[in-house]
Amino acid sequence: MNVIISASELAEDLAGANPPVLLDVRWQLSVARAAGEPPFDGRAEYEAGHIPGAVFVDLDRELAGAAGERGRHPLPDVTEFGAAMRRAGVSSARRVVVYDGGQGWAAARAWWLLRWTGHPDVRVLDGGLPVWDGQLSTGAPTPADGDFQPVPGAVEMLDADGAAALARSGVLLDARAAERYRGDVEPIDRVGGHIPGAVSAPTNENVAPDGRFLPAEELAARFKSLGAVEGTEAGVYCGSGVSGAHEVLALAVAGIPAALYVGSWSEWSSDPRRPVAVGPDPQ
Q: Which residues are catalytic?
A: 238
SS3 content of the chain, % helix, strand, coil (to 5): 30, 15, 55
Amino acid letter for position 99: Y
Q: Are 156 and 257 in contact (CB under 8 A)?
A: yes
Q: Count the alpha carbons within 13 Å of 36 in the hemisphere toward its beta carbon.
A: 0
DSSP symbols for 199-249: EE--GGGGB-TTSPBPPHHHHHHHHHHTT--TT--EEEE-SSSSHHHHHHH
Using CB atoms within 10 A of its CB, is residue 35 exposed (0-12), middle (13-18) or buried (19+)? exposed
Give whole-number Cα distances, 65 to 69, 82, 225, in Å.
11, 13, 35
